[in-house]
Amino acid sequence: MKDKKVVVCGGGGFIGGHLVHDLLRQGYKTVRSVDCKPFEEWYQRAPEAENLILDLRDREACHQAVKGMDVVFNLAADMGGMGFIETHKAECMLSVLINTHLCMAARDAHVQRYFYASSACVYNAEKQKDPNVTALKEEDAYPAMPEDGYGWEKLFSERMCRHFREDYSLPTRVARYHNVYGPFGTYEGGREKAPAAICRKVIEAKLSGKPEIEIWGNGQQTRSFMYITDCLKGTQTLTWSNYVEPINIGSSELVSINQLVDIVEAIAGIKLKRSYNLSAPKGVNGRNSDNTLIKKVFGWEPDTKLKDGMEKTYRWIYDQIVSRR
């Protein structure tokens, strides 16, 4: 596999940047990294990769990105945490242009594998009303009632991949990610997700001497969070496999947001007074990954303990904040 020529679309982003570095670490000789952001805004940039600034919403840019490549990882999207996707629905929907044009370019280039990063936001909202949620199986995406905006785009793009595989023999693979977190991710500015946001808030409270934290929602909403190394392993395992249907890649370790704050407080060695912003974006009440299928297909599931991954994430964000001060 290491002789394959690989392009990571969205390589300047959180997951994409980690994937580029992981492929190079494994010994892949040709790795192209593509993102629309200026280089100084890339989360990570590997000098050993071929780094290109291209807006993949443009069809010609997609043809340029995949030219000469054997494998396409499509991780490119305009997205963020709940604070972003609930208030930028049209922008999230426009990511459909990226996958549409990349599928067309990959078909024309006769690539050997096309990976699409979907999301647990595709799942039917009716099944996520209770914090004590029943873990979501792959079939729970239908009948369709996904997250408005972002989730609809992801579900539509999943179908695009399916039909390009059926009609044009493009070898597509689709993963439904469940809340990926880790170092080298967004932790401020409005696009950050809950693990990074809570780390930042706890760090700021500790450094300021004001032992207070604001939590979005009532703190009882539940989620599972997957550490980045598990995401990378699941992504590459699926890509090289013969399994063609959408599959969950996520941790099954369910926690409430209050419990997530408990974990970060323990890492920081501090206890904070909590206030709850009930008008802030909070998403569904409960969401967890049912890993029955991934264990059956691959004999594996994401298994990094949340407290272990959060400690690494906290230390990295702490260093970033302190270094700026």
Active site residues: 150
At 147, list the tokens.
């997250």
Task: State how far the Cα of 136 lies from the Cα of 290, in Å rounded to an integer.
Answer: 5
Three-point CA angle 146, 107, 61, nearest 5°: 80
Confirm if 31 and 4 have CB atoms less than 8 A apart.
no
For CA atoms 183, 184, 185, 190, the dihedral sign is positive
Task: State how far the Cα of 153 lies from the Cα of 144, in Å rounded to an integer.
Answer: 12
Q: What is the DSSP secondary structure assignment for residue 148, as one 8-state letter?
A: T
**Helix, strand or coil, per DSSP, at residue 75:** coil
Confirm if 125 and 277 have CB atoms less than 8 A apart.
no
The structure tokens 């892949």 sit at 28
Contacts of 146 (CB under 8 A, 6+ apart): 121, 122, 123, 124, 125, 152, 154, 155
Residue 182's nearest CA partner among 192, 174, 173 is 192
